[in-house]
Structure 1
């Protein structure tokens, strides 16, 4: 026979265990994310400061096409295949391959900007990400309920991006980058709260640490690209 006190102790122990699991999940996600960002920064530095690397990549465009293809394939596999995403070390291998190829593409893009613009964009992105992460941790508003709305805005942004690429003007570029920075800022808060769980309506399972790290990494990279575009236009 269990008394009410036994049930209360059991509930408290269950809540404590769940909280510990969630905290471990968050630490694992941010650990993986940190490794991804370090790899990306190192590759960017290679493209910015090592001339032979920059020249070789510019003279051999097959590197970009291969990196783009591998990035697309690994992203589809990680998003769509639960058996790959949740199985260690296969999930880490695919995530590492995706991160490396994405870093090559990012390095190729940043090589077309001057050093000051890139450093400014990195600093601004770091400050914005830190502020938004702290906001997501403490705000009482549940952004996890806005997933459908954010997806609609993303589709609109993609269509607007195609339009801006066809009818390219400085004004359209600035508007597109500004809207993109705003959207991916919201996505960063959304994905952070999905990871936190707790009182939020929707949350990720602790088994989905690869998916959580992938989401946050893409949010940060896309936000950086939008800010870099704004900084580059401003300096020009």
Structure 2
């Protein structure tokens, strides 16, 4: 009897420890994500409401982006590539600096939406995005179903969206743009649940507090941040309604 019960107790202890590590890891991921979103939202609002600052991004005479504005639009992608491909070589403190720089760059690029959509529309879509994201994050964390195959399909659809968007950049098809938007919303809604489940599994297999774990938490925050922002921009395009200042 003793030999049968000891392994059972040991296994239960391991499961509890893994679950606890996973919860702390996920909490750390969301903490970094919320900090980044706060920085981006704050900077976007400041530049979007201060004409003097906004002129640094847009030439009011020509209506075109300034050189700095063009750099701002493409710099977030550069930060993502550097962080993603350099994760094993970048020290943790530098990774944090790059993450914050990315959030600030995204904030500057997001300030352009205030020149396109009404402030009330932006606020309502942001709230909607938060609710949808929260529901799918909870679903991904609590579901017992393995979303791995589902995630692979979503990734393929995402690649298709990117290709279609590049094609439509030259075609300027309103119909194709609508299809891309609808499919994009569905993809990022699904990716939110998939990414949260993936991060939950990553967290359960790591010892909390190690440098590698800290790096993965930041990269996990980057992933969820991108899910949220892309979902927000797609919903804004879909439900933006009448454009205005």
Fold shared by both chains (TM-score > 0.5): yes
- In structure 1, the gaps of 5 or more residues are none
* Cα RMSD, aligned residues only: 2.5
Alignment deviations for residues 213-235 of structure 1 (CA, whole Å, 9 cap, x no partner): 11100000111110111122x33
Q: Is the 8 A contact 1:84 1:91 kept in 2?
A: no
Q: Is the 8 A contact 1:43 1:103 kept in 2?
A: yes
- Deviation larger for 124-133 or 205-214: 205-214
- In structure 2, the gaps of 5 or more residues are 60-64
Question: Equivalent residue for 2:242?
Answer: 235
Question: Equivalent residue for 1:61?
Answer: 66
Question: Equivalent residue for 1:30?
Answer: 30
Question: Equivalent residue for 2:224?
Answer: 216
The structure showing larger relative contact order (alpha-carbon pairs under 8 Å, at least 6 residues apart) is: 2
Question: Equivalent residue for 1:52?
Answer: 52
Q: 1:70 aligns with which of 59, 75, 82?
A: 75
For 2:205 and 2:12, locate their aligned partners in 1 and report how far apart those are by CA, in whole Å: 22
Superposed, which structure 2 residues align to 1:14-163 within 5 Å? 14-59=14-59, 61-84=66-89, 87-163=91-167
Alignment deviations for residues 93-120 of structure 1 (CA, whole Å, 9 cap, x no partner): 1111111112211222443222122122
Q: Is the 8 A contact 2:58 2:66 kept in 1?
A: yes
- TM-score, reference length from structure 1: 0.86
For 2:204 and 2:174, locate their aligned partners in 1 and report how far apart those are by CA, in whole Å: 40
Q: Is the 8 A contact 2:44 2:109 kept in 1?
A: no
- TM-score, reference length from structure 2: 0.83
